[in-house]
Amino acid sequence: MSIEVTGKQIASDKITIKDVFGEDMWFTIPDYQRPYVWGDDQISTLLDDISHAAINTPDSQYFLGSLVLHCQPKTFNGTTYQENSVLDGQQRLTTLYILQAVIRDVTSIETRKNTCAKAIFQEGNPDDGIPERLRIEFAIRKDVEIFINNFIKGEGGTQKSEELQILANTSENVSIRNMANAILIINKWFTNEDNLEIDTFFPYLRKFVILVYVASSELEDAFRLFTVLNDRGIKLRNSDILKALNLKEASNETKQTEYAKYWEELEGELGEDFDLFLSYIRTILVKEKARHNLLKEFEDNIYNPKKFNYSTKKQESGTPLLKKGDETFEIIKAYKVHYDSIFSGNNYSITHNWAFDNLISVMNDTALSDIWIPPLLVYRHNFGDYKILDFLKLLDNKFSGDWVGRETPTTRIEAMNTIIKKVEEFATIKDKTRDEKLNLLFNDNIFIFNTSFFLSDLDDNSIYGRRFARYLLRKVDFLLDAPLYSEKRSSYNEMSVEHILPQNPEDGSQWNLDFNPDDREEWTHKLGNLVLISRRKNSGQGRLDFADKKTKYFTSSIESFPNSLRIMQKPVWTIAELKENHKQLIAKIKAHYSI
């Protein structure tokens, strides 16, 4: 069976797995597709669902999912055939491909082995002019093709468990790593006696499991289907479609191959954060709050922006902020360099200390919003590392000043976008030195925030339970490191805000002698009584008296938090120590924020 697409029509129908991998069916995973990323959850769920259907509804069809295909004639070794480029459904299709390779290698039935072998590749016959070829080809992925030839195509390849485990653990290629792991997962599933036997599973898979395909011979129509299905909930990332749209516009085939490989490497590195990274590029270009999904933002506000003509009172086409193809890929590459440098954790050379990396760690770990990242990327793009710490301090102060000062999210986003505009504006001033440009930038009113609201929250109010509490305590640690910043402060997997004076002291404890009820009510949740600990301890121990708490509760739980270490060196903790600590911390904050 082959899928028939006539002229510019769109074909759609259901198709059994037997026919999906039939003699006349050939698939290509295009270079713009994502790597193979399915893991244990997706693969096990697929196998379990098919098994459940085979047991409970053995004579009924089971719908597994859909395929979006671009169908076009191709010539291979003198033979013309229909190639089906997979725009959507490649994760499921590749898993089924691997599944049949495993079944071929674990079954003892010769006819079943032959059935699976034919589903995997066509054996060549020079006498009849039949070329040997794989049923699924992975465009431009030569290393994936080598892997398939070694572990999927040849009989027994899926049983090379040691080699597969090494590849699953160490391969730099995302697809190879996950394909190797998929083989191991499927093998393990079939060796589990609680799971369905192959004798029942495989016939049901071939005859009753179906996919629904939507196919077009026109690439534009196929891409449109791809986009529509994405909007209706099929799990495609916006970055997948952006890749497809931009690869079509690459200046030549060499560039197309280069960009496709780069994009795939980026996907493997950033994973699900790739869309987030692209959203930074969107912000840098548009400089306005995003109001649509990433794809629509690129299409409507970057590639095809509109402007309102007040004289005609109509929307008109504006000047594109970026062109599809080479220009898009190059700006992504440029800003990825800046992104990698900023978050490398290896920026000691900037000021010959760890100040920059430590402040990045504070913001990245605890800021709860990443709207400060695009302005920092733009600064580095225009000025490099020159005085970048000075800029970061101003940026952080504005970001946190607005946050703690209770500005609305929209106001805070607009403030960051204004900073982007000013950085670009000052960078393009002619007839001024770099220092003169930065002097104008650093003294601009874009960094001003409501200091009275900010300070009242920190000095007068309780901060425990506020969303910025962990950020503020990390910021205090950063300030206590000044001016040397000789120690690199790492990120912490477990980080909790802890009270020195407990929230609920035990009756008869020293706490009730050192703090009267009014003091406890006023000071328990204030900045001066709070520290960070890096591991969760038994909450009951947190009520111990100060001397016992230091030895039993805080020992080896405060690691390198400077403020915590400083508190633990005090012999007692009374209202006097708490007030003095609070006063000192507020003074440091006021000095840093120039209040």
97 in the same domain as 223: yes
Q: Quick check: 260 and 31 in contact, CB under 8 A?
A: yes
Cα–Cα distance measured from residue 209 to residue 15, given in angstroms and rounded to the nearest whole number: 9
62 in the same domain as 27: yes
275 in the same domain as 207: no
285 in the same domain as 205: no
Q: What are phi and psi of 135, to 5 degrees?
A: -65, -35
pLDDT confidence band for 477 (50 / 70 / 90) = very high
Q: What is the pLDDT of residue 237?
A: 67
Q: Please say which residue of 320, 342, 364 terminates a domain.
A: 342
117 in the same domain as 182: yes
Q: Please say which residue of 287, 321, 342 terminates a domain.
A: 342
Q: Flag whether 389 is in a domain.
A: no
Residue of 399, 444, 459, 398 lying closest to 588 (CA atoms) = 459
261 in the same domain as 201: no
pLDDT in tens, 549-567: 877 766 655 566 889 888 8
| pTM for the predicted model, two decimal places | 0.69
pLDDT in tens, 277-303: 999 999 999 999 998 888 889 988 999
164 in the same domain as 109: yes
Reply yes or no on whether the pLDDT at 538 is more than 50. Answer: no
Q: What is the pLDDT of residue 68?
A: 83
Cα–Cα distance measured from residue 595 to residue 575, given in angstroms and rounded to the nearest whole number: 26
pLDDT in tens, 378-430: 999 999 999 999 999 999 999 999 999 999 999 999 999 999 999 999 999 99
Q: CA separation (Å) from 71 to 8, 96, 112? A: 11, 20, 29
Q: Quick check: 213 and 58 in contact, CB under 8 A?
A: no
Residue with the bigger pLDDT between 81 and 96: it is 96
Residue of 8, 92, 17 lying closest to 54 (CA atoms) = 17
Averaged over 441-448, what is the pLDDT?
Answer: 98
Q: CA separation (Å) from 211 to 105, 426, 521? A: 25, 56, 64
Q: What is the pLDDT of residue 537?
A: 53
DSSP assignment of 431-443 equals S--HHHHHHHHHT
Q: Which amino acid would we find at residue 331?
A: I
pLDDT in tens, 90-144: 899 999 999 999 999 999 999 999 999 999 998 877 776 677 789 998 875 778 9
Q: DSSP code of 211?
A: E
Cα–Cα distance measured from residue 39 to residue 167, given in angstroms and rounded to the nearest whole number: 14
Q: Please say which residue of 342, 373, 396 terminates a domain.
A: 342
Residue with the bigger pLDDT between 543 and 529: it is 529
Report the percentage of the chain scoring pLDDT > 70.
Answer: 90
80 in the same domain as 177: yes
Q: Flag whether 376 is in a domain.
A: no
Least confident residue range of 216-230, 253-267, 365-379, 518-532: 216-230
Full domain range(s) for residue 248: 237-342
Total domains in the chain come to 3
Residue identified by tokens 């697929």 is 46
